[in-house]
């Protein structure tokens, strides 16, 4: 069925107009039309701003004014700074019950387009078109957006544990326990499967540790749909695109031909699974040359149970299910096959991962998450053996006053800030290698 742009146009707020007086209420939340058909990015003529007002898709999204977003982020203050990627800086904010009727009080993350950054209007629009229409427990919720003059902002649900990249690779903290790693892998797999199995399939194209956000109980949610593409239609087997993505995660056939399929996402999933097993980044220029590209280094050991322990993350200190690790490594090996057709579908990845969460041959017991957001010290209940481990770790901690694991990375005590533009000091420093780019 062809999508009727007129169905959307009446719901779409003007974009590009001057800031409205916040006293004058504008039409805030967009409602869903009766016969809902997901609008594709290709249905939109990538517009001048005026065109946007008649073609931008939206459903249940709130259109914020710039003033509102300044209020909820305390004028984008550096103390609310969460991090920065290719799109621009991200700040924590809080929507209180006075902001607007019908919008529940909640913490949010506000992403502001940096006009000098590597992304622009197109990525902003893609985020709204995809996340505004796709809803799933393993996709981050887009609450709304702002589009005034040249300003482009996005407002998301706030994810207390930040990105997997921060959790997995940051120094000076307790490492992610095995059970959390498997829960994250499964959640992220469910997010990808949802996209691939949609009525109109979506190829995510930028699956990587920094785009997997974590809720307080380690539920994984995919964020950043700026590079997402609608899957092939009809007889087509692939979508042809400019090669975009992040070094170290992109599938070899996609890099060589620009042909994009859902199997490209499966490859990237395999890379993240190896990151979870080894605690190493997909590309790490600080390692010896033959270890810099994670998949090249790890691949021969993934399918060899006798050598697998050599590549397992030393920060796990042996506390993982051996059987689970073997199965997860064999799965990663399949996902990383150079032949896309030999990779499993995301549905089959889920079926392999699900039972791994039940394995209880983890040394010294399992973690149980109780997840209160307000007191990080109570977030993890541990077995006695694990408490002993952590005590040993804390004695090596160069920040003895800091309790781990920490739920957020935004407070001044956690971060070295430089006019709100520096990343968290525990955060892997931004490098072109782990940014979304033309490859």
CB of 157 to ligand ATP, least distance (A): 6
Output the CA–CA distances (angstroms, integers) from residue 171 to 37, 163, 213, 237, 393, in the order listed.
45, 14, 18, 43, 12
Asked if residues 350 and 193 have their Cβ atoms less than 8 Å apart, the reply is yes
* Of positions 140, 143, 193, 276, contacts ligand ATP by CB under 6 A: 140
76 touches ligand ATP (CB under 6 A): no
Nearer to ligand ATP, 181 or 343 (CB): 181
What gap in Å lies between CA 69 and CA 95, rounded to an integer?
9
What gap in Å lies between CA 338 and CA 331, rounded to an integer?
14
* Chain residues 209-268 in contact with ligand ATP, contact rule CB under 6 A: 210-211, 213, 223-224
Structure token pair of residue 51:
């065109």
CB of 217 to ligand ATP, least distance (A): 15
Nearer to ligand ATP, 55 or 119 (CB): 119
Asked if residues 215 and 245 have their Cβ atoms less than 8 Å apart, the reply is no
Asked if residues 107 and 93 have their Cβ atoms less than 8 Å apart, the reply is yes
**Residue of 236, 246, 269 whose CA lies nearest to 345:** 269
Which is catalytic among the residues 206, 313, 426, 427? Answer: 206
Nearer to ligand ATP, 159 or 332 (CB): 159
CB of 215 to ligand ATP, least distance (A): 9
Asked if residues 159 and 373 have their Cβ atoms less than 8 Å apart, the reply is no
89 touches Mg ion (CB under 5 A): no
As to burial, measured by CB atoms within 10 angstroms (0-12 exposed, 13-18 middle, 19+ buried), residue 150 is exposed
Which listed option, ligand ATP, Mg ion, none, makes contact with residue 340 (CB within 5 to 8 Å by class)?
none
Considering CB under 5 A, how many residues would be counted as binding Mg ion? 4
177 touches ligand ATP (CB under 6 A): no
Binding mask 365-384 for Mg ion (x = CB under 5 A): --------------------
80 touches Mg ion (CB under 5 A): no
Element (H, E) at 369: strand 368-369
Question: Of the listed pieces 151-159, 267-275, 367-375, 394-402, which binds ligand ATP according to CB under 6 A?
Answer: 151-159
85 touches Mg ion (CB under 5 A): yes
* Chain residues 353-412 in contact with ligand ATP, contact rule CB under 6 A: none
Structure token pair of residue 11:
């719901």
58 touches Mg ion (CB under 5 A): no
Among this protein's residues, is 206 annotated catalytic?
Answer: yes
* Of positions 162, 340, 344, 405, contacts ligand ATP by CB under 6 A: 162
Residue 277 DSSP class: H
The residue number with the shortest CB distance to ligand ATP is 85
275 touches ligand ATP (CB under 6 A): no
159 touches ligand ATP (CB under 6 A): yes
144 touches ligand ATP (CB under 6 A): no
Query: Quick one: angle between helices 322-335 and 294-302, nearest 10?
Result: 120
Structure token pair of residue 320:
């993982």
Output the CA–CA distances (angstroms, integers) from residue 47 to 53, 56, 290, in the order listed.
9, 9, 46
CB of 83 to ligand ATP, least distance (A): 3
What gap in Å lies between CA 206 and CA 328, rounded to an integer?
21
CB of 155 to Mg ion, least distance (A): 15
83 touches Mg ion (CB under 5 A): no
| Residue 359 CB coordination number (10 Å) | 18
As to burial, measured by CB atoms within 10 angstroms (0-12 exposed, 13-18 middle, 19+ buried), residue 375 is exposed
Nearer to Mg ion, 63 or 109 (CB): 109
Q: How many residues does the chain have?
A: 439
Which listed option, Mg ion, ligand ATP, none, makes contact with residue 140 (CB within 5 to 8 Å by class)?
ligand ATP
211 touches Mg ion (CB under 5 A): yes
Element (H, E) at 110: strand 106-112
Residues of this chain that interact with ligand ATP (CB under 6 A) are 82-87, 90, 109, 111, 140, 156, 158-159, 162-163, 166, 210-211, 213, 223-224, 435-436
Catalytic residues: 206
């Amino acid at each position: 069925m062809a999508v009727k742009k007129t169905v959307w146009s009446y719901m779409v707020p003007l974009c590009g107009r001057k800031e409205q007086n916040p006293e004058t209420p504008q039409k805030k939340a967009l409602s869903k039309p009766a016969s809902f058909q997901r609008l594709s990015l290709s249905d939109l003529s990538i517009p001048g701003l005026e065109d946007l007002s008649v073609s931008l898709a939206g459903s249940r999204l709130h259109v914020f004014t710039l003033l509102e977003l300044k209020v909820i982020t305390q004028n984008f203050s550096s103390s609310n700074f969460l991090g920065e990627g290719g799109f621009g800086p991200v700040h924590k904010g809080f929507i209180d019950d006075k902001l607007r009727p019908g919008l529940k009080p909640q913490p949010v993350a506000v992403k502001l387009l940096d006009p000098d950054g590597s992304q622009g209007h197109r990525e902003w629009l893609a985020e709204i078109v995809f996340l505004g229409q796709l809803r799933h427990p393993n996709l981050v919720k887009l609450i709304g957006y702002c589009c005034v003059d040249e300003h482009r902002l996005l407002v998301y649900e706030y994810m207390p544990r930040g990105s997997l990249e921060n959790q997995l690779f940051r120094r000076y903290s307790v490492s992610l326990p095995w059970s959390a790693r498997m829960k994250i892998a499964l959640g992220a797999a469910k997010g990808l499967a949802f996209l691939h199995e949609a009525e109109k399939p979506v190829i995510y194209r930028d699956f990587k540790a920094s785009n997997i956000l974590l809720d307080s109980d380690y539920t994984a949610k995919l964020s950043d749909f700026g590079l997402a593409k609608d899957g092939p239609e009809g007889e087509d087997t692939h979508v042809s695109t400019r090669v975009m993505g992040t070094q170290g995660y992109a599938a070899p056939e996609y890099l060589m031909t620009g042909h994009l399929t859902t199997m490209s996402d499966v490859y990237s999933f395999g890379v993240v699974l190896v990151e979870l097993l080894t605690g190493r980044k997909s590309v790490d220029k600080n390692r010896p040359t033959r270890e810099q590209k994670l998949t090249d280094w790890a691949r021969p050991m993934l399918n060899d149970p006798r050598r697998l322990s050599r590549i397992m993350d030393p920060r796990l200190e042996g506390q993982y299910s051996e059987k689970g690790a073997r199965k997860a490594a064999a799965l990663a090996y399949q996902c990383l096959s150079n032949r896309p057709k030999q990779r499993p579908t995301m549905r089959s990845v889920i079926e392999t991962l699900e039972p791994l969460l039940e394995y209880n041959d983890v040394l010294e017991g399992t973690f149980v998450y109780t997840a209160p957001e307000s007191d990080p010290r109570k977030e993890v209940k541990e077995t006695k053996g694990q408490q002993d481990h952590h005590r040993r770790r804390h004695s090596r901690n160069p920040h003895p006053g800091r309790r781990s694991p920490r739920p957020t990375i935004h407070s001044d005590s956690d971060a070295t800030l430089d006019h709100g533009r520096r990343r968290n000091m525990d955060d892997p420093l931004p490098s072109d290698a782990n940014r979304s780019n033309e490859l």
